[in-house]
């Protein structure tokens, strides 16, 4: 009788665990990633975040699945980028740039440059991408195209100055910065532009004045 009772308890415990596993939205999402299961997992974790004992763990899981779903959607967009509009392709390139996927971003900008050679923004972002890849000569060439297609492209002059500084072309870098100072920094409305702090720009300006003796 005692053995039967223990067996029943074990079976009940297994049933409870199985039921919990089936009703756990987080586990459901991890087993089958999709927008529907992701939204359910988000709701589930949102409730847990308000419970003091599980709050930090729930927040960690929340960050994990946010990143996981973002990566999943991004890969899907990459696979179907030919179906995106030109503006959407540009935005995709900028997202890839913002998360340091430089090679992938570069491919998108190259295609946009080929299709729309007079569109300044992809040239500018390509220049930034090449800057972070430390390919300064090609970065300067791309930024030159950005300026050629839009002589009032503030960000292009800033990134050009940064690039010319790396190339030890200090007089040219100073000239690029001074041209930028005469322009409206808000004129270009581009998604995911990296904001360069004014303090960084001012510091570069002062360093260039010292290097050029001006």
pLDDT tens track for 131-148: 999 999 999 999 999 999
The confidence score (pLDDT) of residue 40 equals 87
What is the average pLDDT across 33-50? Answer: 82
The distance in angstroms from the start CA to the end CA of the chain is 97
User: Which structural domains are found in the chain, ordered by start?
Assistant: 24-51 (no CATH), 85-212 (1.25.40.10)
pTM of this structure = 0.80
Cα gap 152→146, rounded to integer Å: 10
Based on its alpha-carbon atoms, the radius of gyration of the chain, rounded to whole angstroms, reads: 26
What is the average pLDDT across 8-29? Answer: 58
Residue 203 pLDDT exceeds 50: yes
The confidence score (pLDDT) of residue 14 equals 46
* Greater pLDDT, 59 or 112: 112
Range scoring the smallest mean pLDDT among 74-83, 121-130, 166-175, 190-199: 190-199
CB atoms within 10 A of CB 18: 10
Residue 19 pLDDT exceeds 70: no
Cα gap 46→116, rounded to integer Å: 44
Q: How confident is the model at residue 35 (pLDDT cuts 50, 70, 90)?
A: confident
* CA-angle at 9, arms to 5 and 14, nearest 5°: 150
The confidence score (pLDDT) of residue 4 equals 46
| Token reading at 30 | 């991890």
Cα gap 12→30, rounded to integer Å: 26
Is residue 204 within 8 Å of residue 165, measured between CB atoms?
yes
């Amino acid at each position: 009788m005692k053995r039967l009772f223990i067996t029943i308890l074990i079976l009940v415990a297994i049933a409870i665990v199985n039921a919990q596993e089936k009703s756990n939205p987080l586990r459901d999402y991890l087993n089958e990633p999709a927008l529907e299961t992701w939204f359910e997992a988000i709701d589930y974790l949102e409730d847990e975040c308000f419970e003091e004992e599980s709050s930090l763990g729930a927040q960690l899981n929340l960050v994990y699945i946010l990143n996981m779903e973002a990566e999943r959607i991004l890969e899907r967009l990459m696979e179907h980028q030919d179906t995106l509009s030109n503006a959407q392709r540009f935005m995709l390139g900028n997202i890839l740039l913002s998360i340091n996927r430089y090679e992938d971003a570069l491919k998108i900008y190259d295609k946009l440059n080929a299709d729309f050679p007079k569109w300044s923004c992809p040239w500018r972002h390509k220049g930034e991408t090449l800057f972070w890849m430390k390919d300064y000569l090609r970065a300067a060439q791309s930024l030159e195209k950005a300026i050629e297609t839009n002589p009032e492209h503030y960000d292009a002059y800033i990134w050009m100055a940064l690039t010319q500084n790396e190339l030890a072309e200090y007089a040219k870098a100073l000239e690029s910065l001074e041209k930028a100072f005469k322009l409206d920094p808000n004129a270009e409305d581009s998604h995911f532009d990296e904001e360069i702090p004014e303090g960084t720009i001012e510091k570069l300006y002062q360093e260039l004045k010292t290097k050029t003796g001006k």
